[in-house]
Structure 1
Amino acid sequence: MTGRPVLHADADSFFASVALRTRPDLAAVPVAVVAHVYIASANYPARARGVRSGSLAQDALRQCPELILIDVPRAEVEEVGDALFDIFHDSARAVEPGSIEEAFLDVGADDLAGAAEAGQTLRRRVARELGIPISVGVGRTKLMAKLASRRAKPDGLYLIDSDEEAALRTTLPIDDVWGIGATTLQRLGRIGVFRLGDVDGIPRNELQHVCGTAMARRLWRMRDGTDDAVVRPVEQRSSLTAEGSTAGYARPDKTPAELAAACVERLCHRAERAGLAGTGITLTLRPETGGKAIVLKRTLVAATTGRDTWLEVAGDLLAGAVVPRLAGLRVTLTGLLPLDRVLHTLF
């Protein structure tokens, strides 16, 4: 084994965990948070009863009549997500984000035992400071670390050592390799590739023809243990995103303008907290009937964190568009710059 071990840290049932921080009395009962009319996240007691993210709230209630539904606490979720990454960055040499609640980390450990110790320290700190559980996987490569974090759930740590890694590089089901779509899985199945070791029996040109050159190379590297083990940090955040749903659980519906204003307020607060200013804004509108999203954009001459400015721009964009009934919308502050660079630009 060469190189430093990789950690994969992933918050458990993130939206639900955030919503339950102030409701410890609900920790052991089925709970799910709702975005529009869909389940956004379910805690583990709810999952044990068959409740799944993406299902309709009414279907989830039929599946589990005692299920408690809570509207997604968007502002709190975004704040906790930012704070989680503050802890990640404070705990690691390099952090490669995967989503709002997960990342690969290089903690500078020279061996798996040292990485596992750092992972346990990270878990305790997140629980203490943020009040949410995270699971941490430790492995020699990103694939192994991600597989380990899955096995660590809920609220645990799992380490894949060299012996287990060697076995997985033969026996791992192909559908456990993240990043392979349903169509590619079907094509691989038709040529007899159901486990990672099955690629050994497929001629190279045939595997490339079936799943493409890039995916074939990725599978070969995973098979021989030379897959990606480098944590690639994002040196500077270029955008911040907030979103909301028109309908929620046990709350009044919101208009597009009200949603956009709430998202802008949260974005400006988060940008100021991070010492950043934006030069552009993008509104992505999700029609209630589905279909293609409507994207509205504008760029300013100079970067700013001014709430009034971005509220006015967002309002103008909506006023100038034909807006159908929406399921929700997303607002993204783009072209972020550190505030010290903004000052140099202005003067």
Structure 2
Amino acid sequence: MNRGPLLHADADAFFASVVLRSRPQLAALPVAVVAHVIIASANYPARARGVRSGVLTQEALLQCPELILVDVPRGEVEEAGDALLDLFRDCARAVEPGSMEEAFLDVGARSTEEAVAAGREVRRRAAAELRIPVSVGVGRTKLMAKLASRAAKPDGLHVIGPGREAELRAGLPLRDVWGVGARTVERLESLGITGLSGLDDIPYDTLRRLCGTAMARRLRAIREGSDDAVVRPVEHRSTLSSEGSTKGYERPDWTPAELAAMCVERVCRRAERAGLLASGLTLTTRPDDEGPARVLKGKQPVPTASPQVWSAVVRSLLARADPSPLAGLRVTLTALVPVDRVQNTLF
């Protein structure tokens, strides 16, 4: 169990930061990374002009006509995410990833000063080795560390100490509480509860009836200050994914077969670099008509990271897929195990 402050490390505008590594001359200009026709990530100069992720490129250009658009480099982004996670693991005794660009870190700090020093080292190494800005938050629990990293952006370090923590537990709006969904917020707001302090005015049974047992317990713990403060390490990835769109921004379209082949090559290369082998594969296809995604699965009797083996599996799965046009797809290697474990079993 953690005895001191935790870190939450989060890369700033991750996709855009990865793109700007090879385009430093654009760093001060508004830049957005595009996935087909949707803004996937915008740098901070673009955000200052009102550009947000998730909007159509046409809307973004109306908001900011000088916006520079770059097609998302999926392979580079995925590899940068792997490298960032490796760096986190090198800097901490336990790492709990939240996504490819963020994680909670237990650095063994016994004081805020030690945690701050560790956070500065994470930021220094990310900037020097990966050329990616990382904001770091320091807090007693995961929620406080997460809120601190939000306050640290862009490219900073922020500490939520005891005094500020007490203020937040009393006055934080429910909409700003990490992990509390919109539906839960709406149900509580219907009773006039908009902040954490409002939870004091509602019986626990009512809270549980509105939000469910797990969320009710979590909200009570957050209000009381007994929320999660344990970093649960992931020793190795159980899955690895690579995805992409058939259509890009100002690039030639790819056929589903071409895109699938690229995804298999990328994800197998990442698995091999991490010393992992897979015995399963999942192909998720996204139809062009915005219909529901379709999931197809394949497996191999012996774990492998061979792109040739998994390419054959994906070709077979694609042949079974819905013949309607695809907007994109994702290839996921599953049931990953370390290569030395497989070798010990075989020999």
**TM bracket (short chain):** over 0.9
Query: What is the aligned partner in structure 1 of residue 286 from structure 2?
Result: 286
Structure 1 position 4, deviation (Å): 1.4
The reply on whether 1:187 has 2:187 as its aligned counterpart is yes
Aligned partner of residue 243 in structure 1, secondary structure: strand
The reply on whether 1:43 has 2:43 as its aligned counterpart is yes
Query: What is the aligned partner in structure 2 of residue 54 from structure 1?
Result: 54
In the alignment, the residues of structure 2 paired with residue 46 and residue 88 of structure 1 have an alpha-carbon distance, to the nearest angstrom, of 28
* Cα distance per residue 1:236-291 (max 9 Å; x no partner): 21111000011111110111111110000001111111111111111100112223
In the alignment, the residues of structure 1 paired with residue 209 and residue 326 of structure 2 have an alpha-carbon distance, to the nearest angstrom, of 41
Q: 1:21 touches 1:131 (CA, 8 Å); kept in 2?
A: yes
Structure 1 position 235, deviation (Å): 2.0
Query: What is the aligned partner in structure 1 of residue 249 from structure 2?
Result: 249
* Cα distance per residue 1:42-85 (max 9 Å; x no partner): 00111111111111111111111100000011111111111101
Unaligned runs of 5+ in 2: none
* Cα distance per residue 1:122-159 (max 9 Å; x no partner): 10110000001010000000000000000000000000
In the alignment, the residues of structure 1 paired with residue 130 and residue 204 of structure 2 have an alpha-carbon distance, to the nearest angstrom, of 48
In the alignment, the residues of structure 1 paired with residue 13 and residue 20 of structure 2 have an alpha-carbon distance, to the nearest angstrom, of 10
Structure 1 position 219, deviation (Å): 0.8
Aligned partner of residue 120 in structure 1, secondary structure: helix
The reply on whether 1:149 has 2:164 as its aligned counterpart is no
Structure 1 position 345, deviation (Å): 3.3
Report the TM-score, using the length of structure 1 for normalisation.
0.98
Aligned partner of residue 244 in structure 1, secondary structure: strand
Q: 1:282 touches 1:297 (CA, 8 Å); kept in 2?
A: yes
In the alignment, the residues of structure 1 paired with residue 327 and residue 142 of structure 2 have an alpha-carbon distance, to the nearest angstrom, of 35
Question: What amino acid is the match of 1:65?
Answer: P
Aligned partner of residue 278 in structure 1, secondary structure: strand
In the alignment, the residues of structure 2 paired with residue 126 and residue 176 of structure 1 have an alpha-carbon distance, to the nearest angstrom, of 27
In the alignment, the residues of structure 2 paired with residue 325 and residue 49 of structure 1 have an alpha-carbon distance, to the nearest angstrom, of 35
Give the CA RMSD over aligned residues.
1.1
Query: What is the aligned partner in structure 1 of residue 138 from structure 2?
Result: 138
Unaligned runs of 5+ in 1: none
The reply on whether 1:203 has 2:190 as its aligned counterpart is no
Query: What is the aligned partner in structure 1 of residue 168 from structure 2?
Result: 168
The reply on whether 1:237 has 2:224 as its aligned counterpart is no
- Show the 5 A alignment for 1:105-144: 105-144=105-144
Report the TM-score, using the length of structure 2 for normalisation.
0.98
Question: What amino acid is the match of 1:180?
Answer: V
In the alignment, the residues of structure 1 paired with residue 179 and residue 289 of structure 2 have an alpha-carbon distance, to the nearest angstrom, of 28
In the alignment, the residues of structure 2 paired with residue 198 and residue 142 of structure 1 have an alpha-carbon distance, to the nearest angstrom, of 22
Structure 1 position 346, deviation (Å): 3.2
Question: What amino acid is the match of 1:237?
Answer: R
Aligned partner of residue 312 in structure 1, secondary structure: helix
Structure 1 position 10, deviation (Å): 0.3
Aligned partner of residue 215 in structure 1, secondary structure: helix
More deviation, 154-163/202-211: 202-211
Query: What is the aligned partner in structure 2 of residue 7 from structure 1?
Result: 7
In the alignment, the residues of structure 1 paired with residue 284 and residue 275 of structure 2 have an alpha-carbon distance, to the nearest angstrom, of 25
The reply on whether 1:336 has 2:331 as its aligned counterpart is no
Q: 1:81 touches 1:100 (CA, 8 Å); kept in 2?
A: yes
Question: What amino acid is the match of 2:101?
Answer: E
Aligned partner of residue 331 in structure 1, secondary structure: strand
Query: What is the aligned partner in structure 1 of residue 214 from structure 2?
Result: 214
Aligned partner of residue 105 in structure 1, secondary structure: strand
Structure 1 position 299, deviation (Å): 1.0
Percent of residue pairs identical? 66
Aligned partner of residue 343 in structure 1, secondary structure: helix
Structure 1 position 21, deviation (Å): 0.3
Q: 1:36 touches 1:328 (CA, 8 Å); kept in 2?
A: no
Question: What amino acid is the match of 2:99?
Answer: S
In the alignment, the residues of structure 1 paired with residue 213 and residue 343 of structure 2 have an alpha-carbon distance, to the nearest angstrom, of 47
Query: What is the aligned partner in structure 1 of residue 81 from structure 2?
Result: 81
Question: What amino acid is the match of 1:232?
Answer: R
In the alignment, the residues of structure 2 paired with residue 228 and residue 21 of structure 1 have an alpha-carbon distance, to the nearest angstrom, of 35
Q: 1:282 touches 1:295 (CA, 8 Å); kept in 2?
A: yes
Q: 1:241 touches 1:267 (CA, 8 Å); kept in 2?
A: yes
In the alignment, the residues of structure 1 paired with residue 335 and residue 74 of structure 2 have an alpha-carbon distance, to the nearest angstrom, of 23
* Cα distance per residue 1:179-213 (max 9 Å; x no partner): 22222111100112111111011111111111112
Query: What is the aligned partner in structure 2 of residue 309 from structure 1?
Result: 309
